Amino acid sequence: MLAAVLERFGNAAAEALAIKEVPEPVVGTGEVLVDVLATCIPPYAAEVFSGERRYPLEPPVISGVGAIGRVVRSSPDATRLRPGDLVWCDPTVRSRDDAVTPDITLQGWSSAGAGGVTLSRYFHDGPFAERMLVPTENVFPLGEVDEAELPRWAALVVLLVPYGGLLAADLRAGETVLVSGATGNFGSAGVAVALAMGAATVVCPGRNEAVLADLVARFGERVRPVVLTGDGDADRAAMQAAARGPVDVVLDLLPPSANAAVARAAAMTVRPYGRVVLMGGVGMLGGEDLALPYPWLMRNSVTVRGQWMYPRTANVGLINMIRSGVLDLARERVTVFPLVRANEAVRFAAAHGNPFDRTVLCPRTDLGERAAT
């Protein structure tokens, strides 16, 4: 089969991926082989492949993260999946020998800790290939979907991240959410998901006024934009004023390049007894710690929780939200590429990382020969 292989970390501007024939995976117990139909390329993929992000990938590796696929064959322990089923392949793979604190790897992408790296050496390869092998528990049926819409469904990999954070926050309909990093790729997805889950108001801080205006144009008056100035006290006051009431939940999705002071100002807008969920990359590249004040946390009974990715059940919940129309994929602006143009697609994704812009690789269909908008 054909695959795009990261043979070594190198210059992101070069041809980082080798397009070549590789052996087809062999299905074992507890595994499913799928034809890869569409996979979303993160805007920061070039930073991963260059080594700038220092992800614990071990080349050579077929990279990528999450995919829409069609079942080719499954092992005998799968009782419902059938060849031909259209499915979502969740990249969040958990070890099966510890139900309480399982090791986690993002198949073909990243890992947490030594155990995650060990797990990644088995479920090593991702979706930048015509076929991939996926753990049975990571395969979720989509039902009937128009083939022309499959590239939009690949946005699941982006939407699931903030959805997992909002589930961790126990968001309830009618509450006010502040999305820190709202003008970014994951943050803007968080705005869409929070509104779909019933948030009454979503406060959207950011520096990019054009993106903030676009969020308001897309979602209406439930979105409350705040242009950040860099003055922590002033920004915190502006965010609280924009909420026009208590902030129940703060979801942080700021990237590694963001200053911890920005995350701190956003977190400290939350009301007493409120919830703060940290999902971004602040501090991953060094720099100042978040350093929330102990007395403020204690006296206000604030809950602060870290959340990496999402529970398995989130896959089913988000698929149902999309199928019901509660969460509308029509907002996604999608550009698709065939597998043989994978390097071009990575460069395109880096240059087109605005909210709701998705660059999608389609290894096994003619969808890769045209663009969906």
For every residue of 7-36, DSSP letters joined together read -S---TTS--EEEEE-PPP---TTEEEEEE
pLDDT confidence of residue 193: 98
d(CA 76, CA 63): 27
Prediction pTM value: 0.94
pLDDT in tens, 243-252: 999 999 999 9
pLDDT confidence of residue 83: 97
Residues 6+ apart with CB under 8 A from 200: 173, 174, 175, 176, 222
pLDDT in tens, 16-28: 999 999 999 999 9
- Map out the domains of the chain with their CATH numbers: 2-155+332-369 (3.90.180.10), 159-306 (3.40.50.720)
d(CA 285, CA 255): 10
Q: What would the mean pLDDT of 341-367 be, rounded to a whole number?
A: 91
Are 136 and 30 within 8 A, CB to CB?
yes
pLDDT in tens, 316-329: 999 999 999 999 99
pLDDT confidence of residue 370: 45
Torsion angles phi and psi, residue 75, rounded to 5: -80, 165
Are 111 and 54 within 8 A, CB to CB?
no
Name residue 108's amino acid: G
Residue closest to 247 by CA, chosen among 195, 171, 313, 330? 171
pLDDT confidence of residue 366: 62
d(CA 122, CA 299): 47
Predicted confidence band of residue 265 (pLDDT cuts 50, 70, 90): very high
Are 360 and 337 within 8 A, CB to CB?
yes
Predicted confidence band of residue 372 (pLDDT cuts 50, 70, 90): very low
On the question of pLDDT at 36 being above 90, the answer is: yes
On the question of pLDDT at 275 being above 80, the answer is: yes
Predicted confidence band of residue 371 (pLDDT cuts 50, 70, 90): very low
pLDDT confidence of residue 369: 52
Q: What would the mean pLDDT of 176-200 be, rounded to a whole number?
A: 97
Residue 334 three-state SS: strand
Q: Where does residue 8 rank: exposed (0-12), middle (13-18), buried (19+ CB within 10 A)? A: exposed
d(CA 253, CA 281): 7
On average, the pLDDT of the chain sits at 94
pLDDT in tens, 110-158: 998 999 999 999 999 999 999 999 999 999 999 999 999 999 999 999 9
pLDDT confidence of residue 140: 98
Predicted confidence band of residue 365 (pLDDT cuts 50, 70, 90): low
Residue closest to 368 by CA, chosen among 5, 99, 360, 41? 360
d(CA 28, CA 40): 26
d(CA 234, CA 53): 32
Strand partners, 252: 180, 278
d(CA 8, CA 16): 8
Are 62 and 125 within 8 A, CB to CB?
yes
Residue with tokens 């009937």: 144
* Percent of the chain topping pLDDT 70: 97
Strand order through the sheet with 2-6: 17-21, 2-6, 61-62
d(CA 300, CA 293): 11
pLDDT in tens, 68-107: 999 999 999 899 999 999 999 999 999 999 999 999 999 9
